[in-house]
Chains A and B, each alone.
Chain A
Amino acid sequence: MTLYLSTNGPLHRLHPLTKLTWLLAVLAAALLGPSGWLPLGLFLVAWLLAAWGGVGRVWLGRNGRILLPLILMLFVIHGFFNPNGQTPLLTLWRLTLTQEGVAYAFLLSSRLATIVGAALLLLLTTHPGDLLTALTERGLPPALAYIISSTLYILPQMQSKATAILQAQQARGLETEGSLWRRARALLPLLAPLVLGALVDSEERAIALESRGFRVRGPKSSLVELPDSPGQRWLRAGLLLGILLLIGWRVWRLFA
């Protein structure tokens, strides 16, 4: 249900925080670093890493589905309508493609591609549970970890419940097609049982958690151990240093 692919490549075996720090470093480089070809270079690095990690094809497909509509519209809107466009490149009918507009569309597209590419690298190769365990070990409140993993657990249940309610109401003669007014009227008979049922179910979970010491303070032990290595610790420290240097460079440029 999540983006995670349960294959076993070299990227899967890395510590989740190593991949998360990489994502943060790419985010900093794309947003704060020098523009030009650097973002696109980082996108290609992510592609190589994805291929090395054995998720290259899925990575490329996901990227395409998320990015292509955005990039297409960026080039149409900024290429033809950017208010700062001065230098005409070519004219189609009454629309003029400008150099400034294309350059701006290229800048934003390469930034977005870099960030989405790096995020997909993390999401495709890291089980959400492992990421949460790693973050909890570093001080994320366990309550937050509970909320996130509980959401991932309830979601498929609630989706099948919604389908069941839809079919049951259709069997009773509820019309879910036709004019807008008819479709809008179908909303309430679908929502009411779903929402009210879900709220009432949650009360039982609260009692179950309370009776198992969920709110007890103090250290808690974890069932899962995540493998880490000195090399990865050094890599993370280096990436964090790089991020700080980038921020420092930006701030310095602001005043210099």
Chain B
Amino acid sequence: MNFKDRLQQDFSTMTLVLIPVAIVLNIVVGQIASTLSLPIFLDSIGTVLIALLAGPWVGALTGLLTNLIWGLISDPITAAFAPVAMVIGLVAGLLARAGLFRQWWQAILSGAIIAIALSFVAVPIRVYMFGGVTGSGADFVTAYLLAVGRDLFSSVIITVISSNLLDKVVTAVLAWAIVKALSKRFVARFPRATAVVGN
């Protein structure tokens, strides 16, 4: 099957209606995590979930649109991090395709890989566009690292990975568990999902 046919199969009507649901899940579950004042964001769970069901391209688009829409409804700054959300969806889909989302321990590993992969995009945006600053508590970590003599780039790498590692591991495990909990009839609508649940 060539790339164009593959994309057409990826973006079925079922996928098109699922993308808004995934975007809304990113936003609402992120809000639940902050209601429970958990130390993680969980605001990419919909992106990872749809990447497991419908593949890396759908995952990337969902991540991109999540941040653009978030920018539209509350804070335009979020839109600047759209490439980061894209990488999360893309990498989650690629890992699933490579068979790294079959078991729970693989999901943990995949979450860690996602956290490292996203920092390749997140760190340059944070450093060059925002001077390494987020306007949140994480800035004190960056300030401390700078004060003890690290340069800005490596300080931001440490801040980004340490604040994302646990979050992405929990996100990946939850998304894996949700896919496993879905009915066979529902999952059968997504040919890519066999890489996660088997045949």
Task: Report how far A206 CA is from B12 CA in the complex, Å.
Answer: 9
A-B interface contact total, Cβ < 8 Å = 161
Instruction: Fill in one digit per residue for A186-229: 1 if any B CB lies within 8 Å of its CB, else 0.
Output: 11001110111011111101100110001100000000000000
A105 located at the interface, meaning its Cβ lies under 8 Å from any Cβ of chain B in the complex: yes
Give A78's nearest chain B residue, CB to CB.
B131
Stretch in A13-21, A69-77, A238-246, A247-255 touching the partner: A69-77
Are the C-beta atoms of B143 and A206 separated by less than 8 Å?
no
Are the C-beta atoms of B17 and A198 separated by less than 8 Å?
no
- List chain B residues, Cβ under 8 A from A66: 75-77
> Separation in Å of the A240 CB from the closest CB of chain B?
21
Stretch in B93-101, B104-112, B132-140 touching the partner: B132-140
Task: Report how far A194 CA is from B151 CA in the complex, Å.
Answer: 44
Task: Report how far A193 CA is from B139 CA in the complex, Å.
Answer: 36
Task: Report how far A155 CA is from B71 CA in the complex, Å.
Answer: 14
A32 located at the interface, meaning its Cβ lies under 8 Å from any Cβ of chain B in the complex: no
B32 located at the interface, meaning its Cβ lies under 8 Å from any Cβ of chain A in the complex: yes
Which of B16, B131, B182 contacts A104 (CB under 8 A)?
B131
Which of B32, B131, B181, B189 contacts A77 (CB under 8 A)?
B131
A37 located at the interface, meaning its Cβ lies under 8 Å from any Cβ of chain B in the complex: no
Are the C-beta atoms of B24 and A154 separated by less than 8 Å?
yes
Are the C-beta atoms of B17 and A77 separated by less than 8 Å?
no
Residues of B that sit less than 8 Å from A by CB: 11, 13-14, 16-21, 23-25, 27-29, 31-33, 35-39, 49, 65, 68-69, 71-77, 79, 129-136, 139, 142-143, 146-147, 151-152, 174, 178, 181-182, 186, 189
Closest 8 CB pairs of A and B: A69-B135, A81-B146, A119-B76, A151-B20, A150-B20, A70-B135, A73-B133, A205-B17
Sampled A-B contacts (13; CB under 8 Å): A73-B134, A77-B133, A80-B147, A112-B130, A151-B20, A151-B69, A184-B38, A187-B32, A187-B33, A198-B21, A203-B14, A206-B16, A214-B13
Residues of A that sit less than 8 Å from B by CB: 1-3, 66, 69-70, 72-74, 76-78, 80-83, 104-105, 108, 112, 115-116, 119-120, 123, 128, 143, 146-148, 150-155, 158-159, 162, 166, 176, 180, 183-184, 186-187, 190-192, 194-196, 198-203, 205-206, 209-210, 214-215
